[in-house]
Amino acid sequence: MSLLITDECINCDVCEPECPNGAIAQGEEIYEIAMNLCTECVGHFEEPQCIEVCPVDCIIKDPDNEEDEGKLRLKYEQLIGRKAS
C-alpha cells in the first residue's frame, strides 16, 4: 500500500522533507501523498519516515491502494532507474 494523509493533518511541514521519493506535497488543504511515488520507504529505510515524524499520527496505509513489499520494491527500483531482478 502507499500511504495516505488523513484530514487530521495540521500542515506542520515535517513530513515533506523526510520523504526520499518526493511523494509528499502540499495539497489544497492538507499535505498529500502521490501513490505512484510512495514506496513506504522500501529501499531507503526500515520504516516510513513520514509516519516516524508525524506529530499527530495522521498518516495511514491507504486502504484503496494495497501493495505488498514486492510491489513496493519494484516501484522503488523503477523510481531509481534500476531493472528489477
85: pLDDT strictly greater than 60:
no
pLDDT tens, residue by residue, 2-36: 899 999 999 999 999 999 999 999 999 999 999 99
- Residue 51's domain comprises 3-80
Q: What pTM was estimated for this model as a whole? A: 0.89
The CATH number of the domain holding residue 17 is 3.30.70.20
pLDDT tens, residue by residue, 38-76: 999 999 999 999 999 999 999 999 999 989 999 999 999
Q: Say how many domains are in the chain.
A: 1
Using the CB atoms, write b or e for 53-83: b if 16+ within 10 Å: ebeeebbeebeeeebeeeebbbbbbebeeee
Provide the pLDDT confidence category of residue 82 given band limits of 50, 70 and 90. low
Residue 85, domain member (yes or no): no
